[in-house]
């Protein structure tokens, strides 16, 4: 079982490519990196990678992150300039023992040392957007939501390995050095192979007010436990109710048959016999069977819970 989910229409081609890789049993890390690189390389997506909209100094500063849901290894870059695929740099950093989050000149030195492709990320189209915006801000208040999106993805391969990754050029006309939520673990992304993953998109200054991606994954985990606990408690209560009520019906019939309330043949006895047609199954079969069902449900739930959690991204992708 495998799957990949992503933010925004711009990710479709990359997700399609990753889907084929996953069908061929590719690792989730390789698939998600390839998918995001496709978005980064397409110059007409103006909020990610090549062609991303520049900051107020007409420089394209990029943020990206990568996280492994098995090991919780994280790699992040922020405010990096003139490198083609920041998500690949972030993934490389996730394999380092320390220094996993590099910013600006430090990230660029590391990328150069590791042999990543240098590239002028400012396109002519982005220049035009920049100059048009300069004219607009002379008359209109600049709204931060005018021109930014993050590509974020969560991927599951058929080895139950999950990863998450993000990439963005951030807020259009941002101040130089500004960093949003996208490369921040727990805020812009989070993944746990035993539970699920999440990625955020929106105004980073809002999203960083809480560890929103981590909270989503945590609540996913608690939700599964809550569902199991609720089912077990309900089953126990039902089993006790069925055993007790079945016994009460059966004892009521026997009590009447002993000569009470008119004894055998009376209308009361006839009503008790009718009630005992429910009481006997409750007491002798359905009630005790619930005890076995509770044990069986507990065992099966413990076995299937990790599988169902790992299938969540695929189910979300199929039924969104």
Enzyme catalytic residues = 150
Strand 162-168 to strand 151-156: parallel, antiparallel, or no bridges (unpaired)?
antiparallel
78 to 73, 177, 179, 185, 202: CA distances (angstroms):
17, 8, 6, 12, 17
Joined tokens for residue 21:
């890789």
| Residue with token string 């496709």 | 38
Which residues is 198 bridged to in the sheet? 190
CA distance 225 to 67: 24
166, 169, 171, 172: CA torsion to nearest 10: -150
Distance CA 15, CA 37 (A): 11
Closest to 28 (Cα-Cα) out of 154, 157, 151: 157
Tokens coding 96: 């380092």
- DSSP H stretches of helix in 172-211: 204-207
Question: How far is the C-alpha of 87 from the C-alpha of 150, rounded, in Å?
Answer: 12
Q: Quick check: 74 and 185 in contact, CB under 8 A?
A: yes
Tokens of 240: 């006790």
């Amino acid at each position: 079982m495998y799957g990949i989910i992503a933010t925004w229409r711009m990710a479709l081609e990359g997700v399609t490519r990753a889907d084929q890789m996953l069908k061929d049993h590719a690792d989730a890390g390789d698939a998600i990196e390839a998918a995001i690189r496709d978005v980064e390389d397409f110059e007409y997506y103006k909020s990610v990678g090549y062609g991303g909209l520049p900051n107020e100094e007409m420089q394209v500063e990029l943020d990206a992150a990568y996280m492994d849901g098995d090991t919780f290894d994280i790699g992040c870059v922020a405010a990096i300039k003139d490198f083609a695929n920041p998500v690949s740099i972030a993934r490389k950093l996730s394999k380092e023992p320390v220094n996993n989050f590099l910013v600006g000149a430090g990230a660029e030195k590391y990328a150069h040392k590791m042999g990543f492709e240098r590239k002028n990320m400012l396109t002519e189209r982005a220049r035009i957007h920049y100059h048009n915006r300069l004219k607009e801000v002379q008359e209109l208040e600049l709204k931060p939501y005018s021109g930014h999106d993050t590509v974020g993805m969560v991927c599951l391969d058929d080895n139950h390995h999950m990863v998450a990754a993000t990439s963005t050029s951030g807020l259009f006309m941002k101040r130089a050095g500004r960093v949003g939520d996208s490369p921040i673990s727990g805020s812009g992304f989070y993944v746990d192979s035993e539970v699920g993953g999440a990625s955020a998109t929106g105004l980073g200054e809002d999203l960083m007010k809480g560890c929103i991606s981590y909270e989503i994954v945590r609540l996913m985990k608690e939700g599964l436990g809550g569902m199991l606990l609720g089912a077990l408690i309900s089953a126990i209560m039902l089993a006790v109710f069925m055993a007790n009520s079945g016994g009460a019906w059966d004892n009521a019939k026997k009590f009447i048959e002993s000569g009470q309330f008119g004894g055998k043949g009376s209308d009361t006895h006839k009503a008790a016999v009718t009630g005992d047609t429910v009481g006997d199954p409750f007491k002798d079969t359905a009630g005790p069977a619930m005890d076995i069902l509770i044990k069986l449900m507990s065992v099966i739930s413990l076995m299937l819970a990790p599988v169902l959690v790992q299938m969540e991204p695929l189910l979300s992708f199929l039924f969104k």
